[in-house]
Amino acid sequence: MRKTWEAIVIGCGGIGSAAAYWLSRRAGADVLAIEQFQLGHDYGSSQDHSRIIRRSYHNPDYIALTD
């Protein structure tokens, strides 16, 4: 089993899984993503009808994460 990673993402909800994907794809990093619950769980902050990911922020770096 591998013991070193360039990046470790804790939480694989909407934001965490996107972060892991882009770290791997754009940065070429070796990424480990860790999630404590089963896939499709409803315990995370990006689940339910009241959650939103905005495309309007004061910092352009945050906007780029939504593309």
Question: What pLDDT, in 10s, does the model give residues 10-46?
Answer: 998 888 889 999 999 988 889 999 999 887 677 766 6
Distance from C-alpha of 21 to C-alpha of 33, rounded to nearest angstrom: 9
3-class DSSP state for residue 49? coil
Q: Specify the range with the lowest mean pLDDT, choosing from 30-34, 42-46, 47-51, 57-61.
A: 47-51
pLDDT of residue 24: 93
Give the span between the Cα atoms of 41 and 65, in whole angstroms.
Answer: 23
pTM above 0.85, yes or no: no
Beta-sheet pairing, 31-34 with 7-10? parallel
- What's the pLDDT at 21? 93
What is the model's pLDDT at position 47?
A: 62
User: Which amino acid is present at 19?
Assistant: A
